[in-house]
Chain A
Amino acid sequence: MPFRDGFGKTWGLKGKVASVFGNNELARSVSEALRKEGINVVDECNPQTSILITIPSDMNQTKTNSLDISPDCWSTRMRDLFENPRQITQQNLPSIKGRKNGRIIHLIGSFEPNKFSVDYAAWGATAAWAKSITRALDGFDTTVNMIQSGVSFGDPLMEKVPMGRGCRVTDITNLVLFLCSDYSSYINGAIIPVDGGLSRFWR
């Protein structure tokens, strides 16, 4: 039977090298969760890297009801939410393509606007681009997926979450580990919401 021994007990990630880009609480928790699985976590380009995770530092929306947004704000958010993950991925691709079972995971936010924000366009760009690189990675045994996180405790939108609570760090790290593992080998180009049912449309 092709059931792989150990599923459910271990993620089988010991000894792998993961690059985690992000400078916030979530990035630190993700790194810690990976280390607990025996992964060597680095925060720069490493030729041994087979797992890349990008987590924008400030994932909170720059919400406003005004269209009067400075060009500087537009370019900053586009850079933080799209350009940076894109460039980091580009830099890490040579090492990931050279390893078995490469994994690229981008943390993104919702693109369902409840107010006006520059962030929706940036997340949309990231999603469209990340989907398209799966086509360029043809034959490299590498998957690219996105985790779309919901709102955390204390967010004004929390009362709208059907599950009745904010997103916990473990809600995200559990899925990150699953996606890093060999058990997710055929999941590619997916956007997986971890939002307690908050989004209105299905992904």
Chain B
Amino acid sequence: MRVSLAGKRAIITGASQGIGRGVFEVFAQLGVRCVTAARRKNILEEHSKEVIAMGGIAPVPIEVDLFEAGAASYLFEQAQGALGGVDILVNAAGRSKAPDAPRQTPFHHPSELWEKELHLNYVVLRELTFAVLPSMQARKFGRVINVTGKSEPEKLSTANPPKAAVHAWSKGLSRSIAPDGVTINQISPGKIVSEQILANYSAQELEAYGKKDIPLGRLGTPQELGYLAAFLASPEAGYITGAVIPVDGGMKRYAF
């Protein structure tokens, strides 16, 4: 085995579409028992049938709206009950903007809408991480993987500040939990083909962007991100923690 994950138990948020869905597909094939969490349970159930038909381990779909108060502890309790414990948490829920928000965040964007994006992209991820951590520390093994975003702010955006908050918060946290064999890492995706990105940009825009701004000349797939998540979750990557690893085809400009 090069990536030994069989028998491990994971929570994956944002699992109905895009990156979360891709991570789940890879995990299920590696024998990970997953709680797939999202708002649209019907999509989770449909997708789980496909994954099982391909030989993947059956997941436990859980309907949860992360905007609701108490969502993190509810999800953790459900997962704890269904799986008997959680070894891996993949926080893949998140977005670059609300579906009905303008593409360019205006100066007068209302505070409550800023707060909403902060909640989804940082607060709930932090709450869920703190919910799973004690049991991971007690077992001396745990993996937290946060799907964030690029840390190069191209323009005013409601997503950049919370994603940067995750990077800073988890670097500090990584130093406290490393002695217990628990790692926390961030994957910062570039342009990955997903329902979200296809809703935000036209196909022509994406093709032109890929040619102009991405050295590999194309968008990435959710599975390409899923493979890295699986590697980071495995015991084989136990010395990697507090890192922010881009999966962006070379899109970001800054080297360090």
Contacts and interface: CB of A to CB of B under 8 A. Distances in A.
B142 interface: no
B178 A3 contact: no
Contacts of A124: 256
A1 B51 contact: yes
B29 A7 contact: yes
Contact of A186 (B4, B224, B252): B224
A164 B178 contact: yes
Interface stretch (B61-69, B130-138, B213-221): B213-221
B179 A192 contact: no
A86 B189 CA distance: 28
A7 B51 contact: no
A150 B215 contact: no
Given A128-B255, A167-B239, A143 B227 contact: no
B1 interface: yes
Among A131, A184, A188, chain B packs the most CB atoms within 10 A around the CB of A188
A193 B223 contact: no
B245 A187 contact: yes
B3 interface: yes
A196 B239 contact: yes
B250 A143 contact: yes
User: Helix, strand, loop or mixed for chain A's interface?
Assistant: loop
A103 B179 CA distance: 33
Nearest to B151: A202
Contact of B243 (A11, A143, A192, A200): A192
Nearest to A200: B171
B165 interface: no
A116 B219 CA distance: 41
A146 to B, nearest CB: 9
B256 to A, nearest CB: 6
Interface string A44-87: 00000000000000000000000000000000000000000000
A105 to B, nearest CB: 14
A23 interface: no
Interface string A122-151: 001001101110110111010110000010
Contact of B246 (A2, A177, A187): A187
Given A141-B216, A189-B246, A202-B167, A162 B256 contact: no
Contacts of B220: 186
Nearest to B3: A8
A134 B224 contact: no
Contacts of B139: none
A163 B223 contact: no
Interface stretch (A14-22, A24-32, A92-100, A168-176): A168-176
Contact of B174 (A150, A185, A197): A197
A36 B119 CA distance: 47
B242 interface: yes
Contact of B255 (A164, A171, A189, A192): A189
B175 A189 contact: no
Given A3-B29, A162-B175, A186 B247 contact: yes
Among A141, A144, A183, chain B packs the most CB atoms within 10 A around the CB of A183
Contact of B231 (A4, A178, A193, A197): A178
Contacts of B224: 183, 185-187
A39 interface: no
A131 B255 contact: yes
17 contacts: A1-B51, A2-B25, A8-B2, A8-B30, A134-B250, A138-B217, A139-B217, A163-B238, A171-B239, A174-B231, A174-B237, A175-B231, A184-B227, A185-B224, A189-B252, A197-B242, A202-B242
List the 4 shortest-distance A-B pairs measured between CB atoms, nearest first.
A162-B178, A131-B255, A188-B250, A186-B220
Interface of B: 1-5, 25-26, 29-30, 50-51, 54, 167-168, 170-171, 174-176, 178-179, 183, 186, 190, 215-217, 220-221, 223-225, 227-228, 230-231, 236-250, 252, 254-256
Interface of A: 1-4, 7-11, 111, 124, 127-128, 130-132, 134-135, 137-139, 141, 143-144, 150, 161-164, 167-168, 170-171, 174-175, 177-178, 183-197, 199-203
